Amino acid sequence: MEDNTFDSEVKSKLENYEATGFDPTALASLHHQMATVSILPWYRNYRTELLVGSAFLFTILLIIWSQWLFTSRSATILEREIMSLRDQVQEFERLQTERQQTKSMNPDTLKYFDEQDKISSDEYLSLSSTIKRLETALQEVLVEQVKQKDVVGNQENNLASQDEEPLNQKTNLSFTKRISPHSVATESRRAIARNFPIDPASPERNLSTKAIRDIKKHYHKGLSIQVAPVFSLSKGFYNPGNGRFDLSVGLLGDFITSPSISLETGILYTQRHYSISSDLAQRNVLPGIDESLGELSNVDIDSWIYEMPVNIKYRYPISMKANWIAGLGYSTYLYTKQLIEYDYQYNQSASLNSAYTINRAKVYSGTLNLMLGFNSELKNKKILETSIYYQQGLGKMGIEETIPTFVGLRGAYWFQVK
């Protein structure tokens, strides 16, 4: 018999088979088992549904209550508004009635106004004609005086005739610009303003330093803060040894306490290099020298340095947008790494090299900083600052224990932060 046939035969025989006879011990066993199992009450099966239903009911009640509250309040407000409108309508009706009554009355005050106008106008015209007459007389007298000067024949009058300009314009007489009361009355304020054009030359250029400072002081409020990326090119001078030009980059912050004084601080990174070849008297202080390789002829020292300056800057205003700058301060130096390369002369012709690296970070006492520079506000309101600086070492620095001096040129591009 095939498997499928066998399977289907078995299935057909047993699928709906029911065991015969009930065993009461089975039920007793069930009771015993059920006694050990705590069956949850029926409502526990609907716990989630009950919770959701309760929450839903509560929400509905809350909405209904809030609606009722809102509606009742709205009704009160509406009632008040209706009452107010009714009052307004009544007032309007009262005013309309009054207007009708006033219209129907005889206008007995008009005559009075007419008389007033007429009297005023007559007096005004009389005064105006007197002023005009006097002005004409004055003008005639002045023109007569000018004519007498022409007879003398001075140089100015010759030039005046060549220009063919009206006399009153060239001589700049005050009466020529006199305006009659009528014309003043007719011109607007704007028209008057046109008679006094603003001088195109900026008055700011002619302001004194004190005035500029006062203006800046006036507009200065509290502490201003500027930040700037900084680039500097500097040369180190060492004793003994020769430095080279090294590039520094960093970020500075300027805390401006007043228009003249500010405190500048930040961090600059430099990789400095110098070599000692002439005077190697200090070689004893350098680590890693191996005399067996030959006679030491040159030492190259590379230092990875972080400089943290704190400078007080003084600004001397040249104009509203430019200042001379002088600075005085102090810098601390953090040496993170130093590489010392030794060149040894061997047998007069051959040379050998060895290197010694110091990866230990160390802080050195630093330098006294002096700075002179110039800054100018650009069109985009940023400030470009250029300065030359001098840094005098205050103590021995680096593994080589020299007192360096740095001279350099610095550029900063300041952004206003606060």
Partner 1 sequence: MVIVEQDLYKLLDSCGKGNRTSQDRLYKEFYAYAMGVCLRYSRTREEAIEIVNDGFIKIFTNLHRYSRGLSFKGWLRKIMVNSAIDYFRKNEKHYNSLDISRGQYEITGASVLDQLAEEDIIAAIQRLPPSYRMVFNLYVIEGYKHEEIANQLNISEGTSKSNLAIARSKLQKILITEQADQLNRGQHGG
Task: Return the percent helix, strand and coil in the chain, to nearest 5.
Answer: 45, 35, 20
Least distance (Å) between residue 8 CB and partner 1:
8
Question: Virtual CA dihedral for 93, 98, 102, 105, nearest 10 degrees?
Answer: 110
Nearest to partner 1 of 41, 153 (CB atom): 41
Nearest to partner 1 of 33, 102 (CB atom): 33
Distance CA 288, CA 271 (A): 21
Least distance (Å) between residue 53 CB and partner 1:
15
Nearest to partner 1 of 40, 152 (CB atom): 40
Nearest to partner 1 of 5, 104 (CB atom): 5
Distance CA 371, CA 350 (A): 46
By CB under 8 A, the residues from 45 to 104 that bind partner 1 are 45-46
Least distance (Å) between residue 25 CB and partner 1:
8
By CB under 8 A, the residues from 5 to 44 that bind partner 1 are 5-7, 9-11, 13-23, 25-27, 29-30, 33-34, 37, 39-42
Least distance (Å) between residue 11 CB and partner 1:
5
Least distance (Å) between residue 55 CB and partner 1:
20
DSSP 141: H
Question: With contact defined as beta carbons under 8 Å apart, do 253 and 266 qualify?
Answer: yes
Nearest to partner 1 of 40, 110 (CB atom): 40
DSSP symbols for 23-86:
-HHHHHHHHHHHHHS-PPPGGGGGHHHHHHHHHHHHHHHHHHHHHHHHHHHHHHHHHHHHHHHH
Position 3 contacts partner 1 (CB under 8 A): yes
By CB under 8 A, the residues from 306 to 365 that bind partner 1 are none
Nearest to partner 1 of 20, 148 (CB atom): 20
Least distance (Å) between residue 54 CB and partner 1:
18
Amino acid identity at 146: V
Nearest to partner 1 of 18, 199 (CB atom): 18
Residue given tokens 């900084």 in the structure block: 230
Classified as helix, coil or strand, 164 is coil
By CB under 8 A, the residues from 181 to 220 that bind partner 1 are none
Distance CA 230, CA 265 (A): 11
What residues does 261 pair with on adjacent strands?
314
> For binding to partner 1 (CB under 8 A), which residues are involved?
1, 3, 5-7, 9-11, 13-23, 25-27, 29-30, 33-34, 37, 39-42, 45-46
